[in-house]
């Protein structure tokens, strides 16, 4: 009976303290909402996009939080390559969610079993690039971020017939594109010709270069498609973010009404509208304009009616344009495609945004009972089930299941090897540290190349950050202060050094590009190794400092009891029916 009472009590407090009766806890009560899609897309990735005139230094910035929890986190540095006439490029299927035991070898050296049987003509020159789950930046500063957006159920094509999945598309784009527009055209044409899908549903990619940033969305066209049908094997659309605007994709289609006559802002496959008409997703006789997301991804979610599981859209717009006072009740499909931010954003502003947990809002997951006595925002990240009913909890930008976060920075004021930077953080954003990787580097630290969720390994960079994260969870509000100090030191130091590194690298580049690349490689690898060593030490420190659920004051060499908040003690007394010690009688 005590367990049952506690569950009831938890449910009531979550309603009162966390949602304040403004959100619907049960997703099934949202008219027009598909609870299955709500669950799947709420678990995926967030992309933030910043145009060059919306950033403080003219950078084009994008992010990708690889929010998976069980995916591969390893990275690879792919060098450029030249090919003889007649050479072929093999196409592989890459399952986003599949990992292999480390003893079977490095993931990116062990993918032959994914061969689709398709070979396409190779190009004379492949550009070099850096990639993790997807291609992130190539030699021309073409950069990519990813967010799953889904599609109508009948559009799924999880058969082996489509030869391209989203990972493979990004790799080919990295190898062959000089600009963002070129990358979009390459990916779109390949998906249409050879089919798109396999393990992937509708996907959104931010595609950027030093001049502009686009949202590119590609969808499968159903399980019956074959190359022999003569029909396109995918449907896609792309819209450019205005240079002085910012935008976001939190696993929801972002493109609305399109104007293909405005070629500077829109691109699409030839079947962009005809497929919707054929399938009954759009009626041209309705008198309504064709709307991409309403045709292929109709939804009626908001932050409010999803109890915060769809809060990221509102939270982003509220952060960058607070004076507009966007309401949490606004349906996510009704938010603008992009907005001019009230202040220009630096790359560090964007990094901080990737760590946002809706602090101080109705959707702060650390509020009340959910956060526990030490305000841990990472509890119940997927919601919970009680009495056979599923309840949502806020799905914030900074969830604790990220494999890594990549923030790409494309800068047109420098040669490509110097202008492009990927800021990479392994593991959870709030306990990790961003490390700069210049586009021109010729190698990455060995510790980036391997690691596995199911085997602790001190040689893997990712495990250093997970080690710290693990020792943060019990006393979150106390431990996070030590992590913030380390982040401020190492990220702050990197931000301060970048202009100096830029200047020296540019001087070297004018004399000898090879030496400039060596210099950038040495800096990035040395800095990353120092950060990783620091995080291992930080994890050791947290273990000692909060060992046995006490505070071992390292500075004063004293053991101190940790003070629990009064509100929590009050509830403990109430639930366990505790009685105070009898007062001593005066003699």
Q: Rounded distance, CA 368 to CA 349, Å?
A: 28
Structure tokens at 328: 């949490």
| Residues in CB range of 224: below 8 A, 6 or more apart | none
Closest CA to 272 of 210, 188, 347: 188
pLDDT the model gives residue 24: 35
Q: Which ranges constitute the DSSP H helices of 165-291?
A: 166-176, 180-194, 274-279
SS3 label, residue 489 = helix
Burial of 298 (0-12, 13-18, 19+ CB in 10 A): middle
How is the chain split into domains, by residue range? 2-391, 414-560
Token pair, residue 516, equals 């400039």
Residue 114's closest CA among 89, 88, 87, 91? 91
Give the separation between CA 417 and CA 513, rounded to whole angstroms: 9
- Supply the pLDDT for residue 33: 40
**Spatial separation of the C-alpha atoms in residues 553 and 14, rounded to whole Å:** 34
Q: What is the dihedral of CA 533, 538, 543, 546, to 10 degrees?
A: 180
Q: What is the pLDDT of residue 498?
A: 98
pLDDT of residue 32: 39
CA distance linking residue 230 with residue 120, whole number of Å = 18
Kind plus residue range of the DSSP H or E element containing 370: helix 368-371
What pLDDT was estimated at residue 6? 42
Do 501 and 568 form a contact (C-beta atoms < 8 A)?
A: no
Task: Specify whether the CB–CB gap between 161 and 225 falls below 8 A.
Answer: yes
Question: Other CB atoms closer than 10 Å to residue 387's CB: what's the count?
Answer: 9
- Segment holding 354, helix H or strand E: helix 347-354
pTM for this predicted structure = 0.92
Pairwise CA distance, residues 315 & 363, whole Å: 9
Low-confidence ranges of the chain (pLDDT < 50): 1-42
Q: Which helix (H) or strand (E) holds 406?
A: strand 402-410
pLDDT for res 4: 41
Asked if residue 48 lies in contact with residue 354, where contact means CB atoms within 8 angstroms, the answer is: yes
* CB-based contacts of 270, cutoff 8 Å, min separation 6: 192, 232
User: Buried b / exposed e across 402-441, counting CB within 10 Å, b at 16+?
Assistant: bbbbbbbbbbeebbbbbbbbbbbbbbbbbbbbbbbbbbbb
Residue 118 DSSP SS3:
strand
CA-wise closest residue to 206 among 50, 22, 411: 50
Q: How many residues does the chain have?
A: 587
């Amino acid at each position: 009976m005590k367990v049952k009472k506690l569950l009831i009590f938890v449910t009531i407090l979550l309603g009162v303290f966390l949602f304040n009766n403004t959100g619907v806890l049960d997703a099934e009560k949202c008219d027009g909402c598909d609870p299955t899609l709500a669950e799947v897309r709420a678990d995926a990735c967030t992309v933030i996009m910043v145009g060059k005139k919306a950033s403080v230094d003219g950078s084009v910035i994008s992010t990708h939080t690889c929010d998976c929890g069980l995916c591969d986190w390893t990275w690879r540095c792919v060098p450029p390559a030249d090919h003889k006439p007649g050479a072929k490029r093999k196409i592989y299927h890459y399952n986003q969610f599949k990992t292999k035991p480390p003893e079977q070898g490095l993931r990116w050296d062990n993918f032959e079993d994914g061969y689709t049987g398709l070979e396409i003509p190779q190009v004379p020159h492949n550009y070099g690039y850096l990639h993790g789950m997807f291609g992130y930046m190539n030699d021309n500063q073409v950069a990519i971020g990813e967010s799953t957006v889904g599609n109508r159920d009948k559009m799924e094509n999880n058969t082996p017939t489509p030869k391209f999945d989203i990972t493979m598309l990004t790799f080919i784009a990295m190898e062959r594109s000089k600009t963002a527009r070129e990358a979009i055209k390459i990916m779109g044409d390949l998906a249409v010709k050879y089919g798109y899908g396999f393990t992937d549903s509708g996907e959104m990619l931010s595609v950027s270069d030093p001049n502009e940033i686009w949202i590119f969305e590609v969808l499968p066209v159903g399980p019956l498609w074959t190359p022999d049908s003569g029909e396109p094997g995918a449907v896609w659309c792309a819209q450019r973010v205005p240079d002085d605007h910012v935008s976001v994709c939190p696993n929801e289609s972002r493109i609305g009404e399109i104007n293909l006559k405005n070629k500077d802002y829109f691109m699409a496959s030839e079947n962009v509208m005809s497929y919707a008409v054929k399938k009954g997703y759009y009626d041209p006789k309705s008198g309504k304009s064709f709307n991409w997301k309403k045709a292929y991804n109709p939804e009626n979610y908001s932050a409010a009616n999803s109890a915060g599981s769809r809060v990221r859209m509102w939270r982003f717009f509220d952060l960058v344009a607070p004076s507009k006072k966007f309401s949490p009740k606004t349906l996510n499909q009704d938010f603008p495609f992009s907005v001019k931010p009230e202040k220009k954003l630096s790359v560090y502003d964007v990094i901080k945004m990737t760590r946002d947990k809706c602090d101080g809002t109705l959707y702060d997951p650390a509020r009340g009972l959910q956060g526990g006595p030490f305000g841990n925002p990472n509890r119940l990240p997927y919601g919970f089930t009680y009495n056979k009913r599923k309840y949502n909890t806020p799905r914030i930008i900074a969830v604790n299941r990220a494999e890594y976060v990549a923030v790409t920075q494309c800068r047109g004021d420098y040669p490509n090897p110097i202008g492009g930077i990927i800021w990479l953080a392994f593991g959870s954003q709030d306990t990790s540290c961003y490390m700069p990787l210049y586009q021109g580097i010729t190698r990455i630290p060995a510790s980036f190349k391997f690691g596995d969720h199911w085997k602790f390994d001190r040689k893997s960079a990712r495990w250093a950050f997970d080690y710290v994260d693990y020792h943060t969870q019990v006393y979150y509000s106390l431990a996070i202060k030590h992590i913030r100090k380390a982040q401020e030191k190492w990220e702050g130091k990197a931000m301060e050094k970048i202009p100096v590194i830029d200047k020296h690298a540019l001087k070297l580049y004018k004399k000898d590009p090879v030496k400039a690349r060596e210099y950038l490689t040495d800096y990035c690898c040395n800095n990353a190794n120092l950060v990783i060593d620091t995080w291992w030490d930080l994890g050791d420190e947290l273990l000692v400092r909060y060992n046995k659920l006490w505070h071992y004051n390292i500075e004063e060499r004293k053991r101190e009891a940790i003070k629990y908040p009064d509100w929590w003690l009050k509830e403990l007394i109430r639930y366990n029916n505790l009685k105070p010690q009898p007062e001593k009688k005066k003699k």
